[in-house]
Amino acid sequence: MSLWAFLFGPQRSLKRGLLLNIMAALILCLLLAGLVLIKEFKEHLEENLREAMIEEAREVIGQIDPTSASFGLNPDALRFRGINGNFRYTVFTGDGSPVVGAEASDRIWQQLAALELGKPRAVTLPGERVGLGLRAIIMEQDIFVLVSTYPKGNNETQFSKLLHEIEEEIWWGALGVLMVITAALLATRRSLAPLRALSEQAREIGPLAASRRLDAYRLPAEFVPLVADVNKAFDRLEQGYKAQRDFSSNVAHEIRTPIAVLRSSIDRIEDAALKQTLSQDADQIDRIFSQLIDLARADSAPLTGFGTVDLHTVAVETAKNYVQDALRAGRSLSVTGAEQAEVVGNAGLLAIALGNLIANALHYTAVHSEVEIEILSNPAGWRVLDRGPGVPDPLKTALFERFNRGIQPHATESGSGIGLAIVKSVADCHNATVSIADRTGGGSVFSFIFNSDP
């Protein structure tokens, strides 16, 4: 998982959507705040500039002496020549003649001439410069002072002043953005915690825990109706699952009485050949419904019936039940592998599953060959090895489906297609895995392996 996905969640996730919306809103707020800040700073700078120019004008007026040459001012001073500094100054007499300074033109004088006594006013200058004029009477002489900005490449412009004003705020703004994003991450994670807990609850609901439901406690109010509807859907699924399970179990049990009556009727038949054929058919029917009962038991196995089970003991006891059948069919059985392999499970169901694997192997293995039951300890499980014709690759998974008999050309009789489905059902309720592999030298290996994770 990338760092981006870890922080902001996978694509199209609720977490990413919330964070991106929060960040979009934050960016919009920052842009608006920046525009307002720049506007306020600009107005602030303009006000400061005007006040500074007024002070400069008054200072110059305070230095004027009409009785002295050049009004007592030094025409060669830098502030009048405007070579350096942020301001240049020009002093006019009442007829518009400049005494010191060179910022003079008819357009400028027309604006200065309209000034009221003692009231400073802005004066329009060429370019981006800013000017301010102030009129005073000194010793009965009209005096006009023009203060103007004189920006140069090495001087501070209004924009540079603006940057200077806000550069200290930039770091605080960046820190604020970081804090908001961190807070958004934590808030989103905290807000989605109930959904993660809900996901864990949903993961535990299954055939063995069909009665469990999602808990809407601590969920946001917007999700409560959804959880209620999902729980109702689980109720309907549980009812359907229970009806199907009960039907399979009830039919399998109820059919036993008709089969017993059928056997009694067959026993009264005098034709030996017909009697044997019908007996075999009855046995086949009885075997199928016995498997249906086993399948119903595996589907409805409660976890409360689980306990510590030794796979070696189950293998030995189960093999004993098939020894006579194996010998009559010209085959043999052996139990090998670990002497002890304990797991948590239902001993009865595990014996049924292993019995089906043994019966399947005895049915297809070659005459005078051996079916080996190998006990594994790490990971725990069984392997049942035969010397049959093998299983084609396309069927190695499909054979565990219900009522899938497969295609076995060497088989002497057709099966019900339930035996391996029972094995798969028992494996599912024990968190185990079943598989089929080819055996070296011919035959198949049926594996029933317990997963390490509970």
**Per-residue pLDDT at 153:** 41
pTM recorded for the entire structure: 0.47
Q: What are phi and psi of 168, to 5 degrees?
A: -70, -25
* Residues 283-289: contacts with CB under 8 Å, at least 24 apart: 284/413, 285/255, 285/259, 286/256, 286/259, 287/416, 288/416, 288/418, 289/251, 289/252, 289/255, 289/256, 289/259
**Every domain range in the chain assigned CATH 1.10.287:** 205-300
pLDDT tens string for the chain (454 positions)? 565 565 656 665 666 667 777 777 777 777 777 777 777 777 777 888 889 899 989 999 999 998 888 898 888 877 776 655 678 889 999 999 999 987 888 899 999 999 999 999 999 988 777 899 999 999 889 999 999 886 544 345 555 655 665 665 667 667 777 777 777 777 777 777 777 788 888 877 765 566 778 887 777 777 788 888 888 888 887 777 677 667 766 766 677 778 788 878 888 888 888 888 888 777 767 766 666 666 666 655 555 467 899 999 999 999 999 999 899 989 999 999 999 999 998 888 899 899 999 999 999 999 999 999 999 998 999 999 999 999 998 888 888 886 665 544 444 445 556 788 889 988 988 889 999 999 999 999 999 999 865 4
Residues in the chain: 454
**Every domain range in the chain assigned CATH 3.30.565.10:** 304-450
388: its two tokens: 């049959």
Residue 303: DSSP 8-state: G
**Every domain range in the chain assigned CATH 3.30.450:** 65-154
Specify whether domain 205-300 bears CATH 3.40.1130.
no
Strand partners, 135: 117, 144
Contact indicator for 57, 145 with CB cutoff of 8 Å: yes
**Per-residue pLDDT at 93:** 92
CATH topology of domain 65-154: Beta-Lactamase (3.30.450)
Contacts of 453 (CB under 8 A, 6+ apart): 431
Contact indicator for 434, 423 with CB cutoff of 8 Å: yes
- Residue 319 CB: number of other CB atoms within 10 A? 18
Residue 439: DSSP 8-state: P
CATH topology of domain 304-450: Heat Shock Protein 90 (3.30.565)
**Per-residue pLDDT at 411:** 43
Nearest residue to 425 (alpha-carbon basis) of 437, 434, 416: 434
**HSE-CB for 449 with a 13 A CA cutoff:** 13
Nearest residue to 91 (alpha-carbon basis) of 118, 139, 58, 125: 58
